[in-house]
Chains A and B, each alone.
Chain A
């Protein structure tokens, strides 16, 4: 087989180097794989697919359950904060302080505010 290489010397025909020939993939060599083994491989692939799919679904359920649980806990926390807010209502606090604990408002002079300039 001859061909022209480049344009260095037009017209000169050079013999191409003989290329080592790779052994062609011969289908006959796969013949040892019996149809049974082939079938198993296909089955395994199919099972992998199904397993993946069920895992995704299972995780989906799990995520959804956790999401619900999270929402419920957020709600509970909000509800408790609301109750806390109601219990901290100043009217209630003052009522307890005055009536149940017998506290009174400080008289003039009993609270001494020290101006920051003095502290420094």
Chain B
């Protein structure tokens, strides 16, 4: 009897000990692992809407927006009826049921079935409510205006990171990285609670640009027309507000649609306005004259002899297109006389000319808020050859970007101040917490307002009686300068007669410029002069842009005088 009681006692003790041991094992030793495992069942990391900031034009029109689209995935282990599931999904995904089934029966815990679905397809799949099939939200960037301002906006890759243009330059501020919250779910996977955000997230910003959609459109349309008409390799057009440095339009040809950027060539994606430097040619004579007039080396009425169209400098003969006799400084500019420019350059001298070239911002970055800007190439006077001063007077032996040229001409147009060009006008946090406006920045005064006024007046002569007649407008006075630069042939190291860069840069209305417009056509096959292809393109852009901006016509406009073409 006693043994029996002892036996039962022992049995109870042992079995309770076993329970206690198991309890210890589960509650203490395995606690962390099991808690985590339980949490895994009722907690879920939930992706929340990633909202990359929107990019607006200067009037608030949307140029780049992010939309949430869904990607469909499968968790094969959770699927009860793979064959049936595959059969249901196949027609929606537009894939053969066999292929879908193959992916539903892999050993992997997670497989993508299709990424970035069209919204109706995603809805259809969501309605099916299939086990083991889920939708994952992903952000996709859309450019509603297709190729409009493509080179300014840039593009965003599949991972929602900006790869080019403003999307790249302002990537951190635009944001858009996927973020998660922890949520509790029930047995069916329905969300019960979300945990509130614990750590504050970096604010996401919307960008407002200086670009005006309408002017951008006008510039792109006319540039495309010019490039097509002249069968050119490429082209650039820039419209700038000379007073503030606001870039109202920046267009390049060839161009592309950032919605389908993978189809675009790298040539089409290049923002030539900032990345490509070229020899400016005769347009640079304005810079030479700015220095010469400012320093008092010449006055507009001074006369130089045209040497009957040819001058020899250090054994090299440089020619004019016509055999000129006596020319005033004004005529040297309006007729774009090379001989005259060389003589003015010699009067100004190396170091002063260099001072003004760099003063106008050539050889250094303009500070434009777009990636990939090149400063161009400019040698210091120490490295100049005997020929350098002369050819620099003609805009050779220096390479500049279209943006640099537009900025330099803006300084002439606004009365002598070099302003920093920019495309971003303001930033605003999506939650409204922060806001910043970009104020115009004057880098330095390059020339006096008196010199600027004289230059503008001479440049009016270029359009009214010189090489830029094709740029003339009926209702507005135009001041500008043509340029036709031969390109250096990299094979021979000599100037090519076939390949030129034709350009026109000007300011309208000349008496109080509202716009500085640059048009540059690279390697036109026909219409190879700046005056014959770039000037009329300038005219068309200026006409429509001024009309759009409701700029009143120039006072006392003598329509007969300019109706030349």
| Structural contact, B148 and A89, CB atoms closer than 8 A | yes
| Structural contact, A108 and B144, CB atoms closer than 8 A | no
| Structural contact, B194 and A85, CB atoms closer than 8 A | no
Determine which of B65, B214, B547, B551 lies in contact with A106 in the assembled complex, contact meaning CB atoms within 8 Å. Answer: B547
Asked if A36 is at the interface (CB within 8 A of a chain B CB), the reply is no
- Binary interface profile of A, 84-97, with partner B (CB < 8 Å = 1, else 0)? 11101111001000
| Structural contact, B547 and A111, CB atoms closer than 8 A | yes
Asked if A51 is at the interface (CB within 8 A of a chain B CB), the reply is no
- CB-CB under 8 A from B544, the residues of chain A are 105
Asked if B213 is at the interface (CB within 8 A of a chain A CB), the reply is yes
| Structural contact, A85 and B67, CB atoms closer than 8 A | no
Asked if A14 is at the interface (CB within 8 A of a chain B CB), the reply is no
Q: A75–B65 Cα gap in the complex (Å)? A: 12
- CB-CB under 8 A from B65, the residues of chain A are 78, 81-82, 85
Q: How far is the CB of A79 from chain B (nearest CB, A)?
A: 6
Counting contact residues on chain A (CB < 8 A from B), the size range is: 20 to 34
Main secondary structure of the interface of B (DSSP, over half): mixed
| Structural contact, B62 and A85, CB atoms closer than 8 A | yes
| Structural contact, A113 and B190, CB atoms closer than 8 A | no
- Given the interface pairs A108-B474, A113-B551, the reply to whether A64 lies near B67 with Cβ below 8 Å is no
Q: How far is the CB of A113 from chain B (nearest CB, A)?
A: 4
| Structural contact, B144 and A82, CB atoms closer than 8 A | yes
Asked if A61 is at the interface (CB within 8 A of a chain B CB), the reply is yes
- Given the interface pairs A75-B68, A85-B62, A85-B145, the reply to whether A60 lies near B550 with Cβ below 8 Å is no
| Structural contact, A115 and B552, CB atoms closer than 8 A | yes
Q: A67–B217 Cα gap in the complex (Å)? A: 39
Asked if A57 is at the interface (CB within 8 A of a chain B CB), the reply is yes
Q: Give the total of B residues in contact with A, Cβ under 8 Å.
A: 30
Name which residue of chain A comes closest to B259, CB basis.
A86
- Given the interface pairs A79-B119, A90-B213, A108-B475, the reply to whether A61 lies near B192 with Cβ below 8 Å is yes
- Given the interface pairs A64-B192, A89-B148, A111-B547, the reply to whether A71 lies near B49 with Cβ below 8 Å is yes
Query: Which of A108, A109, A115 has the most CB atoms of chain B within a 10 A radius of its CB?
Result: A108
| Structural contact, B193 and A60, CB atoms closer than 8 A | yes
| Structural contact, A64 and B194, CB atoms closer than 8 A | yes
| Structural contact, A64 and B191, CB atoms closer than 8 A | yes
- CB-CB under 8 A from A81, the residues of chain B are 62, 65
Q: A84–B145 Cα gap in the complex (Å)? A: 10
- CB-CB under 8 A from B474, the residues of chain A are 108-109
Asked if B146 is at the interface (CB within 8 A of a chain A CB), the reply is yes
Q: How far is the CB of A118 from chain B (nearest CB, A)?
A: 9
Asked if B84 is at the interface (CB within 8 A of a chain A CB), the reply is no
Asked if B157 is at the interface (CB within 8 A of a chain A CB), the reply is no
Q: A11–B312 Cα gap in the complex (Å)? A: 132
Q: A108–B547 Cα gap in the complex (Å)? A: 10
Asked if B17 is at the interface (CB within 8 A of a chain A CB), the reply is no
- Binary interface profile of A, 104-120, with partner B (CB < 8 Å = 1, else 0)? 01101101011100000
- Binary interface profile of B, 457-473, with partner A (CB < 8 Å = 1, else 0)? 00000000000000000
Q: A71–B551 Cα gap in the complex (Å)? A: 44
Determine which of A71, A86, A105, A113 lies in contact with B144 in the assembled complex, contact meaning CB atoms within 8 Å. Answer: A86
Determine which of A60, A109, A114, A115 lies in contact with B192 in the assembled complex, contact meaning CB atoms within 8 Å. Answer: A60
Asked if B553 is at the interface (CB within 8 A of a chain A CB), the reply is yes
Q: How far is the CB of B539 from chain A (nearest CB, A)?
A: 12
- CB-CB under 8 A from B193, the residues of chain A are 60, 64
Q: How far is the CB of B68 from chain A (nearest CB, A)?
A: 5
- Binary interface profile of B, 525-561, with partner A (CB < 8 Å = 1, else 0)? 0000000000000000000100100111100000100
Asked if B142 is at the interface (CB within 8 A of a chain A CB), the reply is yes
- CB-CB under 8 A from A84, the residues of chain B are 144
- Given the interface pairs A60-B192, A64-B194, A108-B475, the reply to whether A85 lies near B214 with Cβ below 8 Å is no
Interface residues of B in 213-229 (CB under 8 A from A): 213-214, 217, 221
Q: How far is the CB of B258 from chain A (nearest CB, A)?
A: 13
- Given the interface pairs A91-B217, A113-B552, the reply to whether A82 lies near B547 with Cβ below 8 Å is no
Q: A88–B217 Cα gap in the complex (Å)? A: 12
Q: A113–B551 Cα gap in the complex (Å)? A: 7
Q: A66–B221 Cα gap in the complex (Å)? A: 46
Q: How far is the CB of B281 from chain A (nearest CB, A)?
A: 31
- Binary interface profile of B, 125-147, with partner A (CB < 8 Å = 1, else 0)? 00000000000000000101110
For the A-B complex with A64-B190, A82-B62, A90-B213 known, give 8 more contacts whose Cβ atoms are closer than 8 Å. Answer: A57-B192, A82-B67, A85-B145, A86-B145, A86-B146, A89-B148, A90-B145, A113-B551
Q: Which residues of B contact A (CB under 8 A)?
A: 49, 61-62, 65, 67-68, 119, 142, 144-146, 148, 190-194, 213-214, 217, 221, 474-475, 544, 547, 550-553, 559
Q: List 12 A-B contacts (CB under 8 A).
A: A57-B192, A60-B192, A82-B62, A82-B144, A85-B145, A88-B61, A89-B145, A90-B148, A91-B221, A106-B547, A109-B475, A114-B552
